Amino acid sequence: MQKISRRDFGVRAAGVAAALAVPSVLRAQAQTPAEPDPVVTDAEIDDVQKKLAKPLNEEAKKILKADLVSQKKDTAARLKVKLPEQSEPCFIFVSTPKKPAGKEDGEMS
C-alpha cells in the first residue's frame, strides 16, 4: 500500500466529488422542460401607460412588453426557489421618501 500526502488525498477526493456531481447536474438540466414565455396583455401595457405623463410610441411599447415578460419570468423563477424550514422569507424592499427635517410623526404644519 502506497502512502499519499494529505494534499494529494484532498486533490483526489475533490476530483472524485466533481466527477460524481457532474452527471447529476446534467441530468437535472436535461429533465426540466423549457417553459413558454409569459403573455403580456394589452391591458397590462395600458395600465403602465396610465401612470405615465405621455403615451408611449410603438418602439417604447415593444421595449415595455419585453421588460414585462422579463419581470414575469424573474418572478416565476424566484417563487420556484424552496426555502429551508425556519429560514427568512424573500422580501422586496421598497424605498420610502425621506421625511423633512424638523417634522415628527403626527405633527401638523
- pLDDT tens figures, 54-95: 988 999 999 999 999 999 998 888 888 777 776 766 677 777
Identify the pLDDT of residue 100: 77
Q: What DSSP letter does each residue of 60-71 carry, written as one string?
A: HHHHHHHHHHHH
| Gap between the Cα atoms of 78 and 68, Å rounded | 15
pLDDT at 22 over 80: no
Cβ neighbour number for residue 73 with a 10 Å cutoff: 13
pLDDT band of residue 108 (cuts 50, 70, 90) is: low
Query: Whose grid coordinates read 447529476?
Result: 24
- pLDDT tens figures, 37-65: 788 888 998 999 999 889 889 999 999 99
